[in-house]
Chain A
Amino acid sequence: MNRLDNQWKNQHLAWRAGFGPQARDIEILRNNSPSVQLKAMIAASQQPPTYIDVVSNSMEGMLMNRRNLSIEEKRQLRKQSRDDIKTLNLRWLDEMIASPAQLREKMAFFWHGHFACRNLNIYYQQLLLHIVRTNALGNFGDLLKQVSKSAAMLNFLNNNQNRKGHPNENFAREVMELFTMGRGNYSETDIKEAARAFTGWGADASGAFVFRNNQHDDGSKRFLGQEGNFNGDDILAIILAQPATANFITGKLIRYFVNEQAPREKIDYYADRFRQSGYDIQSLLADLFSSNWFYDVANTGNRIKSPIELWVGIRRQLPFDLPAPEIQLLVEKLLGQVLFYPPNVAGWPAGKNWIDSSTLLFRMRLPQLITGNEALQLNPKQDDDVQMGRAPVQLGRNFRAIINWPAYIQAFADSKETDRYETVNRFLLQSKHQPSAAVFENHNDKSSPELAIGTLTLNLMSTPEYQIN
């Protein structure tokens, strides 16, 4: 079986550079060349994104005016904020599922994990999300600077407590360790000196960056071998000039998009080009996604989908509506990845870390849960940072998904019965290793071609192989 034809490559691209292929595009996937597909994906992501704004005017007023609120009003505000973060989560999921700007949303999702930030202020969170989505394909330096000056990140990493004479090194440390160079490329002294340079960086209630001159340490600093009266911007500029930064970011991108075991020489090659381009993210991605190496058989079907990728991928491959979309929050919790709640500043784990007995069984049961063939009786763990000691809200337990079967089955209308397994399988599974067709014989409903395709689809989505892209 020739797996390395255009359909296979285009689907590979759709899973990596986006959240997976759609059934309605099956003709395009079969017929276009990967280079045409890549151009189309890039073109579809050129528009700046629309600001996802879930904060009401009255809420915004309260957020801006926090200090003058009563205890009860503050409590209300926190509750509203947590609820609005859920709405932001669902709205962004909608974009991932339906937006034609797949490359932009996928990259935004990557940066959302890279610049991992927990902050219960919805206003700050939606501002940070907008920075990430706007700059997802832009210039890494701009992205880094804007994230570093965002209220969400400054607060999360305690830079609002970083003052002359009383430094808080958290922000300075994480910027270097996790956002740019990685460990081993700077000393503890560099962290201390950088922290001094970041003193005075803060944000006001509206989320705007403020520089508090009276809190800033304007003495001379020695940082990465250079000496000067550096401020925070200078530090970021010096960090961006380090080859280690290009290497670290490129390595992370390649491990994420191509292969967890990326060869050193590939990273060096692309890192060089990335730095020479002045950190142009889109050209790095175009470089990668158009290389023969990206389509090398060893680099296909070699990743475990993260929970968000799995869920959004299901929703793209099998079109359905959810009358009560909040159920998706429960899915995120049970799979172990809730947008806006990364486990820590290092972001989510990857690969095999997603899989244990509970998550694997839940992943494999998801298709049957969506159709309502099985009832969901699982409880997620509590999150005390969110719940603040209150009882968890019981989420609706019924998906009640309205699956658009006619639209889905249409994609396979011209396939003969003898080709059915192969046709559906090719669209759904990106794993090189395939379950044998015979195993599904007893499980598919063959009373009509539609039911046969439908049951086969759900069963293929219930396999270990479906966890791979």
Chain B
Amino acid sequence: MLFNRKEFLQASTLASASMFVPRFLQATEQKAAVPAGNKVLVVLQLSGGNDGLNTVVPYRNDLYYQARPVLGLKRQDCLSLTDEVGLHPALTAFKAAYDDGSLAILNEVGYPSPDRSHFRSMDIWQSASNSDEYIYNGWLGRYLDNQCKACNHPTQILELDDMLSLALKGKNGSGIAMREPNRLYQSSKQKLYRELIQQHQSSHSEDLPDFLYQTLTNTLNSADYIFEQSKKMPSNAAYPATEMGRKLKTIAGLIFSDINTKVYYLSHGSFDTHVAQEGQQKRLFTEMNDAIEAFVKDLKANNRFKDVVLVTFSEFGRRVSQNASAGTDHGTANNMFFVGGALKSKGLLNAMADLNNLRDGDLQYKVDFRAVYANLLENWLDTPAENILGGKFSGISVV
């Protein structure tokens, strides 16, 4: 059956997301239930390999200054956390979070047989694979597979970008990527797409057309749903006019709505500081710091900070020794930040990177990043982690 054009236009302006369920999917339609106090994970990817040693600075360690005669950050410039450790001077919001018990720092996170290619190492982090395995789906995508069996809008995981990262691709379905709710909504608004969905009838014997139509349907439903939700409780707080500021403001507005999103994903970079690291890292940190400062303030003002954990990671840290261009080259293990109003463990969670025990000039990891994922999945997202991560990983209880 083809919609009468006029009827269709009326329907499409009035319709809520659930209107666009094509007949071949109607049987499986489910209403998404959104619990109040919905816990939310925000994953912030620092792309390019952030230099962890100049992020969380061991300013009482001579080895650090020996390896970095030019790049080493002086103690008096750092934001002091303890007698031994300070933060990069630009990270004032992280220092404030540390002081009020809403920051945790985990050092020496990595994985065995580290890969120094950006692309490959990022894929390892995003897919949660071993470094000798090639997996074409991601840990959050597999979380979605668990959460969204035949559901109509896979908005449980959202990426603030035009392209979807491997982390959000599942085996059965994938999350949604969008730079802004309005932009996704506009590009999905083609009448042809909606009319195609309406005329599509399940082919039964053919799996690919149904898969494509289901993905299209989910995309259009999600575009409508996200757009509607984004208008409900948009944040009116002041955020910096930077890309990250805009993205976190969008995320805050969605958190305040009753959208079913559990995970938001965004990237910031490039931290690939082979040359003149000081200026580049400082610029990137300032943008990140100011955006997160506004985000935390906004969440607190709306009494939602306790429901949110923001986690940072990078595909690798950098070499301990600076290079000849006032920069650093690709390294291995790195630190992670956790920011949130309900952290179970706070402050410095483990010892600082061991500069006495390097391997070919690189740090040796002590914490497998998948133990962090396991903790986030089990204790924050209430999902058994073993299947998603392809093994048992434990030992971290930051949330």
Contact = CB atoms under 8 A, between A and B. Distances in A.
Interface of A: 71, 118, 173, 301-304, 333-334, 336, 341, 343-346, 349, 352-353, 355-361, 364-365, 377-385, 387-390, 431-433, 435-436, 438-439, 442-443, 459, 462-465, 467-468
Contact of B118 (A383, A433, A462, A468): A383
B49 A380 contact: no
B269 A334 contact: no
A359 B136 CA distance: 15
B383 interface: no
Given A343-B123, A361-B187, A380-B162, A389 B213 contact: no
Interface string B238-278: 00000000000000000000000000000101111111000
B150 interface: no
A304 B196 CA distance: 18
A360 B215 contact: yes
B274 A356 contact: no
A-B pairs, 9 with minimum CB distance: A389-B272, A464-B212, A384-B118, A356-B174, A346-B134, A357-B219, A433-B209, A349-B136, A378-B162
B361 to A, nearest CB: 15
A163 to B, nearest CB: 15
19 contacts: A301-B208, A343-B123, A355-B212, A356-B168, A356-B174, A357-B175, A357-B215, A359-B163, A364-B190, A379-B179, A384-B269, A388-B274, A389-B270, A431-B209, A432-B206, A435-B196, A435-B199, A464-B196, A468-B212
A450 B24 CA distance: 35
Interface string B348-370: 00000000000000000000000
A357 B164 contact: yes
B396 interface: no
B183 interface: yes
B196 to A, nearest CB: 6
Give the most central of A353, A358, A387, A390: most B CB within 10 Å.
Answer: A358
B192 interface: yes
A57 B340 CA distance: 57
A431 B205 CA distance: 13
B119 A344 contact: yes
Contact of B193 (A334, A356, A364): A364
B2 interface: yes
Contacts of B117: 118, 385
Contact of B2 (A388, A431, A436): A436
B208 A381 contact: no
B177 interface: yes
A442 B215 contact: no
A459 B162 CA distance: 23
Contacts of B273: 389
B27 interface: no
Contacts of A352: 208, 211
B192 A381 contact: no
A301 B165 CA distance: 28
B212 A387 contact: no
B272 A388 contact: yes
Interface residues of B, number: 62
A118 B270 CA distance: 20
B282 interface: no
Query: For B137, B191, B200, B222, which residue has the most chain A Cβ atoms within 10 angstroms?
Result: B200
Interface string B34-50: 00000000000001110
Interface of B: 2, 5, 47-49, 117-120, 123, 132, 134, 136-137, 154, 161-165, 168-169, 174-177, 179, 183, 187-188, 190-193, 195-196, 198-200, 203, 206, 208-209, 211-213, 215-216, 218-219, 222, 267, 269-275, 280, 324-325
Contacts of B120: 343-344
A304 B211 CA distance: 11
Given A380-B162, A433-B203, A365 B270 contact: no
Contacts of A442: 5, 191, 195
B208 A468 contact: yes
Contacts of A378: 162-163
A459 B280 CA distance: 46
Contacts of B206: 301-302, 431-433
A459 B192 contact: yes
Nearest to B48: A384
B102 to A, nearest CB: 30
B5 A382 contact: no
Contact of A358 (B162, B196, B200, B267): B162
Contacts of B218: 357
B208 A302 contact: yes
A415 to B, nearest CB: 23
Contacts of A358: 162-164, 176-177
A353 B304 CA distance: 36
Nearest to A442: B5
A140 to B, nearest CB: 22
Nearest to B49: A384
Given A379-B162, A384-B270, A467-B212, A353 B136 contact: yes
A352 B173 CA distance: 9
Given A433-B203, A463-B196, A468-B208, A360 B123 contact: no
Contacts of B136: 349, 353
A435 B200 contact: yes
A462 B187 CA distance: 13
A136 B262 CA distance: 48
A389 B196 contact: no
Contact of A389 (B48, B174, B211): B48
Contact of A464 (B118, B164, B168, B209): B209
Contacts of B188: 361
A304 B200 CA distance: 18
A442 B4 CA distance: 10
B209 A468 contact: yes
A433 B208 CA distance: 9
A388 B273 CA distance: 8
Nearest to A438: B2
Contacts of B213: 464
